[in-house]
Amino acid sequence: MKVRVTKRPANMEKIPIHTEFIKLQDFLKFANAVESGGMAKNMIVNEEVKVNGEVCTMRGKKLRPGDRVEFMGVCYEVTNEDP
């Protein structure tokens, strides 16, 4: 039997959403990780954002509760609950 252990980063921020999904570009703005949509676009296109451990260059990537976004040393977890 294989057991998968995932290490949770110490600087994990839970960001609750109240919809089925949120687009990556909008999520970065919503989480206050960036100041504008243009800045989010540049960071995503320049491969500075990871989604679930993999670099993501799709601004419209749909994030759902349980997804994790890593950006500038901070890990954000999308949740559907209030913190």
Residue appearing with tokens 């504008």: 36
Instruction: Name the residue type at position 61.
Output: K
26-44 pLDDT, tens per residue?
A: 999 999 999 999 999 999 9
pTM of this structure = 0.82
Strands 62-63 and 74-79, how do they pair? unpaired
Percent of the chain at pLDDT > 70 equals: 84
Residue 23, token pair as written in the block: 């687009």
Instruction: Name the residue type at position 76.
Output: Y
What is the structure's pLDDT at 12?
Answer: 86
- In whole angstroms, give the CA distance from residue 15 to residue 22: 11
Return the beta strands (E) in the chain as ranges: 12-16, 22-23, 49-51, 54-55, 62-63, 68-71, 74-79
